[in-house]
Amino acid sequence: MSRMKFFRNLLIIFVLFFAFVSFMTNAYIKSTYKDIESNNINNDLNEIIIKESKATKINGYISGTIKNITEEEISKEFIVVECYSKYGNNIRTTYSEVSNIEKNETRDFYMKYKVEGVENIKIITTKEEPKKSENIKIELTKQNKFKIFVASLVILWLT
pLDDT digits (tens, 9 = 90+) for 68-115: 888 888 888 888 888 888 888 888 888 888 888 888 888 888 888 888
Q: Which of 65, 68, 41 is CA-nearest to residue 52?
A: 65
94: left (phi over 0), alpha (psi -120 to 50) or beta: beta
Over residues 4-23, the mean pLDDT reads 94
**What's residue 21's pLDDT?**
94
Residue 2 region by backbone torsions, left for phi larger than 0, else alpha for psi between -120 and 50, else beta: alpha
Return the pLDDT at 132. Answer: 61
pLDDT at 133: 45
Question: What's the confidence (pLDDT) of residue 5?
Answer: 92
How is domain 36-146 classified at the CATH fold level?
A: Immunoglobulin-like (2.60.40)
Q: What is the Rg, in whole angstroms, of the alpha carbon atoms belonging to the chain?
A: 23
Overall pTM > 0.75: no
pLDDT at 142: 63
What are the E-state strand segments in the chain?
34-35, 41-42, 46-55, 60-68, 74-84, 90-101, 106-113, 120-126
pLDDT at 106 (0 to 100): 86
Of the two residues 6 and 127, the one the predictor is more confident about is 6
CB-based burial label for 111 (10 Å; 0-12, 13-18, 19+): middle
pLDDT digits (tens, 9 = 90+) for 106-147: 888 888 888 888 888 888 888 887 776 444 445 555 667 788
